[in-house]
């Protein structure tokens, strides 16, 4: 059950992210990228296998059964990925605003479609 909900969440986030990424407004693109990065972070987390109530940090170094513990590495990777994608989103936001200011439109091409 947990796996199903998790997979659905990743799927819905990815689908919405991709759709928004392909939209013509820069704001939609940035929201799409954010949603995609959430989906990717969840996916990385899921790659360490989903476990409930298992601590990721070993408590005493003597003989312990690793099966009782969650994999700490994906959690560390997710932290790194969150920080990086957060920073990149902020930077993208700045460029987006600069583009809006310079071209006077929020279209990704810097000009409105001819209609």
Partner 1 sequence: MKEAMDHLIIVPIVLPLISGALMLLLEERRRSLKAGIGIATTVILLVVSLVLLQQADEIAPGTGLRTYQLGNWPAPFGIVLVLDRLAALMLVLTSVLGVATLLYALARWHRAGPRFHTIFQIQLMGLNGAFLTGDLFNLFVFFEVLLAASYGLVLHGDGKARVRAGLAYIAINLTASLLFLIGASLAYGVTGTLNMADLASRVPGLAPGDGSLLAAAAAILGTAFLMKAGTWPLNFWLPTTYAAAAAPAAAMFAIMSKLGVYVILRLWSLVFGPGAGPLAGFGADWLLIGGMLTIVFGMIGVLASQSLPRLAGCSVLVSSGTLVAAIGLGNGSVIGSALFYLVSSTLGIAALFLLVELVERLRDPGADVLAVTMEVYGDSDEELEAEIGVAIPATVALLGGSFIACALLLAGLPPLSGFVAKFGMMAAMLKTNGGAVPTSAWALIALLTVSGLATLIAMTRSGITSFWARMSDSVPRVRIIEMAPVVALLLLALGLTIGGGPAMRYMESTAQALQAPQGYMTGVLSPPRGDDGPAETRP
Residues that bind partner 1 (CB under 8 A): 21, 26, 29, 33, 36-37, 40, 43-44, 46-49, 73-74, 77, 80-81, 84-85, 87-89, 91-92, 95-96, 98-99, 102-103, 108-110
How far apart are alpha carbons 35 and 42 in whole angstroms?
Answer: 11
**Shortest approach of partner 1 to residue 85 CB, angstroms?**
8
Distances (CA, A) of 7 to 3, 46, 48, 107: 6, 9, 14, 33
> What tokens were used for 109?
């091409």
Does residue 7 contact residue 76 with C-beta atoms inside 8 Å? no
**Shortest approach of partner 1 to residue 53 CB, angstroms?**
21
**Shortest approach of partner 1 to residue 52 CB, angstroms?**
18
């Amino acid at each position: 059950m947990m796996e199903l909900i998790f997979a659905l969440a990743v799927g819905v986030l990815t689908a919405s992210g991709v759709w928004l990424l392909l939209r013509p407004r820069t704001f939609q693109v940035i929201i799409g990228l954010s949603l995609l990065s959430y989906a990717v972070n969840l996916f990385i987390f899921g790659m360490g296998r989903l476990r409930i109530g298992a601590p990721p940090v070993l408590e005493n170094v003597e003989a312990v059964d690793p099966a009782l513990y969650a994999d700490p590495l994906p959690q560390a990777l997710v932290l790194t990925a969150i920080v990086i994608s957060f920073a990149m989103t902020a930077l993208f936001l700045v460029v987006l605003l600069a583009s809006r200011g310079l071209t006077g439109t929020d279209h990704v091409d810097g000009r409105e479609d001819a209609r």
